[in-house]
Structure 1
Amino acid sequence: MEEVKQQTQSTSQSDEHDRSYAILRIKRKRNEEPLDGLVVDPESVPSRKKSRGALNFFKFAATVERATFDDEQQKRDLEARLATLARKSNICASVSAPAVVEKSITSQSPSVSRPQADDPGRIYTIVKRESPSTQLPATQRRVTAPPKVWSTKELEALRQSQSGLKLYDAILSSSSLTSTVSDMDPEMANFLPMLQDYLRLDGPSMATSSASTSSFPSSANGTAPGDDNDYVYDVFYQRPTTFQELYEPSLSIMNIGTLTGVPEELMLYDSDSDSEVADTDDEDSNAEDWYKNDYPEDEFDESDSSATGAPKDIVIFWDYENTPVPAKVPKYNISMFIGRMLQTVRDRFGDTGELLVYSGLDNIGSRKAEYMKAALSHNHHGKFITCSHHRQREVVDNAIIGEMLSRPDPTTIILISSDGGVMKKEA
């Protein structure tokens, strides 16, 4: 058994050494704040292929100038650092305990204003690049044939295929730009065309100056020629993580965008049916790091569990007030968060249930409708249980259990508590 384990470890290490790593690159204005990371939209992943515990995440690594990609030595140094970070992150992801998030290579400028964490316009799409042939031309050719001219994209693709590191570009999606324009004040929208006409009549220099200081986002395709000095590139590396780790209160990851249009080779899938069995075993033993359980073992009342299958009614009680995750999830990620949370619970406890969100009165606010809409979109009924803002944990648990016991049908209660743990009780 020990020999098989050693062979498996050596095989995984060789696979990590041989695998290719991906770099994500985003062009932005120099005076804008970079993203802390991008989460791949799980809605683009087929449900039968979704990885159970991992969250596909690209973490911010550094901000570099355009010259970095033009200079071969600087580019190789950057690729080596990012490959090292990606390799370490994959090793950490294979351990059940939450990994420690690495610090960024470069510190963020304190003079740049930070955008709101719940800005709904931070949706980026990976640009589909051409796939030129990476085969060198044959040494013998017909005399009458013209010589092969290699473009910059073809040479870059050839170098990437040889180095084992792939570079992807992401741009702000058109839906984000449309959303930003639609959020503009109606009076300002009516006044803007007249202002632009006035600037054009007054002179091109004034119009250019006004456009450069505008607060509207840059276009998805980049900028006009000649102003590259005002732009920099943020680079990200792929780092599988979990919801609990990503939105940990002690971490400074606040500005997170959504990534769409991700190619197949960057998706995180379970390798085969055997891995799914292993994942299920981890879930049954509470070893899955997404819902790391800090409750004592004797608090789990499993003696009355039925062996006939899923219980008749599953009720999910979510301590919305104290759970650190929702407070930092941007608005456009609420459905993503709830979907992944409910999918994890369904994988562990069954496919039916009702979502009951427990919340303090002070923290319901305007976001109640958002969470209820997101819950209903995942085919779950929604309901809020409210009580005073500051209640001890035992009182809260007793109130929730009392709600569960008031139901006439046999019920399984699942508590998603303030520390992200999951506790199962039988009625």
Structure 2
Amino acid sequence: MDFTFDARTEELRARLLAFMDEHVYPAEQVAHEQRERLSSPWENPPVVEELKAEARRQGLWNLFLPDAEHGAGLTNLQYAPLAEITGRSPQLAPTATNCAAPDTGNMEVLAQFGDERQKKQWLEPLLAGEIRSAFAMTEPDVASSDATNITTHIRREGDEYVVTGRKWYISGAMHPDCTIFIVMGKTDPDGADIRRQQSMVLVPRDTPGVTVKRAMRVFGYEDHYHGGHAEVIFDEARVPVSNLIGEEGGGFAIAQARLGPGRIHHCMRLIGMAERAIELMCRRAVSRDAFGKALAQQGVVQNWIADARVAVEQLRLLVLKTAWMMDTVGNRGAHTEIQAIKIATPRTVVGILDRAIQLYGAGGVSQDFPLAELYAGARTLMIADGPDEVHQRSLARRELKKYR
């Protein structure tokens, strides 16, 4: 394994770091002030559109998509350090570069499984950053950690599918530019193979029978920058049969293909969040005195900073190894590593953010610093894309199988 950045990665890193320093970090406070003056909290502050235009002008656009026809054509190993950089400002940088979830996963699905009409109608405007999208999978009435539990029904009537079900925590659905849902439901609920019961269909937001009911909060945050996390009702919503993605019964497999890259992208950005936390810890430690000396001279604070640095270096190597394996042996071959980073990264970054919050005292839990919101996002990723315990169960079974 060789994790040395190649020339293209180094060049993109340099440009992206400059973009962050010159445009993104200065825009954080501006975006906050502009949002308070908007008629709807779900609209993008004007500075976000300015960032998108600048990122596109600089060629820092769709970096996540390995498909050279539609994206930057980077490998996972090349993209990893770039996603880490955007993770330092998770509210602005991923959106500015058109690399924000859930649009990234939806674009990957359409690029890999969509037909030419679907790509023309939905993928192209998503790639251009003209619209937003949502992925409707999680349901409130079942344990969605087991995707075979999904109860949303997709029945065929002639040339239409009729979608009925209740979803929640559907990221991006509150955004006014969210115009399309990828909905996972059951087309064959009584099928013998429980992993062939599900399908995915494209449901435009303005379809009769689709109701975006309310925004769900995450630790009190509505997550406006990501378009919120909505409860969505599908009540006999009808779409053409041509809106099926792939084949009937292929929904579970498509979901797994979508979630693999999504998990590593989250981990890449989490490392950037941890780096931001370490920077904030160090700045606080050298600027504050307590009990007659700087916080930086307190042994416990030194331990927190040292432990955080060690942990981040370990996580980065594990993520880079996983990215390298996905590039060389495919997502299936990297299954163990993907699960390992999904377990280790959010848990570790939550711990680093917790120490940073402690160092900032009351300021750490306030809106004046980014730590509380970063903590909420990192803690949520111990649940999103499959809770840690599900991955631990699967990983343990794979280890035990070697000895049976």
The normalised TM-score by structure 1 is 0.21
Q: Structure with the greater relative contact order (CA < 8 A, sep ≥ 6): 1 or 2? A: 1
The structure with the largest alpha-carbon Rg is 1
